[in-house]
Amino acid sequence: MKKEEKQSASVVRKMMIALAGGLVVGLGFMLLRSYLLSEGREAVWDGINRLLFQDITGEQGVGAVGLFYIVGQVFMRGLQLAIVPLVLVSLSLAMCSISSSSKLGRIAGRTLLGFFLFYACGAFLGGTVAYLVKSGGFFDVKLPKEAVTEAATIAAFNPLATIVEAVPSNITAAFSSNNSILAVVVVAIIMGLSMNALGKKADPLKAVLESGNEIIQMYLTFLINKVGPVAIFCLISRTFAIYGVEYLAPAASYVVSAMITLFVLTIVLYPLGIWVTTRLNPWQFIKKIAKVGVFGFSVNSSAATLPLNTRTNLDELGCSEEITSFVLPTGMTINMNGTTIMHMFAVTFIATASGIDVTPANLAVVAFLSICAAMGCPAIPIAGTTLIVTVLSGMGWTTDACMIAYALVVAINRPVEMALLPLNVIGDAATNVIVNAKEKELDLDLYNQ
195-211 pLDDT tens trace: 878 888 888 998 998 89
Residue 347 has pLDDT above 60, yes or no: yes
Helix crossing, 228-243 with 400-412: angle to 10°? 130
In the chain, pLDDT over 90 holds for what percent of residues?
9
Q: Which of 145-159, 279-293, 305-319, 428-442 has the lowest mean pLDDT?
A: 145-159
Read off the pLDDT of residues 144-194 as tens digits, 9 standing for 90 and up: 444 443 433 334 444 456 567 778 888 887 787 766 666 777 788 788 878
Single out the residue of 79, 85, 87 nearest to residue 371, CA to CA. 87
pLDDT at 100: 47
Residue 19's CB: how many other CB atoms inside 10 A? 20
* Spatial separation of the C-alpha atoms in residues 110 and 95, rounded to whole Å: 15
pLDDT at 129: 92
Residue 6 has pLDDT above 70, yes or no: no
Are 180 and 290 within 8 A, CB to CB? no
* Spatial separation of the C-alpha atoms in residues 69 and 53, rounded to whole Å: 5
Residue 330 has pLDDT above 80, yes or no: no
Residue ranges making up the domain that contains 208: 2-448
Helix crossing, 337-353 with 388-395: angle to 10°? 60
* Alpha-carbon dihedral 133, 135, 138, 144, rounded to 10 degrees: 140
Count the domains in the chain. Answer: 1
pLDDT at 274: 93
What is the amino acid identity at position 52? L
Q: Label residue 108 by pLDDT band (50, 70, 90).
A: confident
The vertex-107 CA angle with 101 and 109, nearest 5°, equals 95
Q: Find how far residue 383's CA is from the centre of its chain.
A: 6
Residue 283 has pLDDT above 60, yes or no: yes
What is the amino acid identity at position 41? R
pLDDT at 96: 73
Are 300 and 417 within 8 A, CB to CB? yes
Residue 234 has pLDDT above 70, yes or no: yes
pLDDT at 125: 92
299 vs 291, which has greater pLDDT?
291
Single out the residue of 332, 323, 327 nearest to residue 421, CA to CA. 332
Are 96 and 334 within 8 A, CB to CB? no
pLDDT at 156: 43
Q: Label residue 33 by pLDDT band (50, 70, 90).
A: confident
Residue 369 has pLDDT above 60, yes or no: yes
**Ranges 71-80, 104-113, 118-127, 286-295, most confident:** 118-127
**Torsion sign over Cα 379, 383, 385, 389:** negative
Residue 10 has pLDDT above 60, yes or no: yes
**Ranges 16-20, 304-308, 371-375, 442-446, most confident:** 442-446
Are 139 and 133 within 8 A, CB to CB? yes
Residue range 337-356: mean pLDDT, rounded: 88
100 vs 214, which has greater pLDDT?
214
* Concatenated DSSP letters of 249-291: HHHHHHHHHHHHHHHHHHHHHHHHHHHHHH---HHHHHHHHHH
Q: Which of 147-156, 360-369, 423-432 has the lowest mean pLDDT?
A: 147-156
Residue range 403-419: mean pLDDT, rounded: 76
H or E element in which residue 100 lies: helix 83-100
Residue 376's SS3 state is coil
* Alpha-carbon dihedral 406, 412, 414, 417, rounded to 10 degrees: -50
* Spatial separation of the C-alpha atoms in residues 372 and 386, rounded to whole Å: 14
pLDDT at 182: 65
SS3 content of the chain, % helix, strand, coil (to 5): 80, 0, 20
402-417 exposure pattern, b = at least 16 Cβ within 10 A, e = fewer? bbbbbbbbbbbbbebb
**Torsion sign over Cα 391, 394, 397, 400:** positive
Which CATH number covers residue 232?
A: 1.10.3860
Q: What SS3 string covers 289-348? A: HHHHHHHHHHHCCHHHHHHHHHHHHHHCCCCCHHHHHHHHHHHHHHCCHHHHHHHHHHHH
**Ranges 51-65, 182-196, 285-299, 417-431, most confident:** 417-431
pLDDT at 151: 39
Give phi and psi for 432, each to the nearest 5: -65, -45
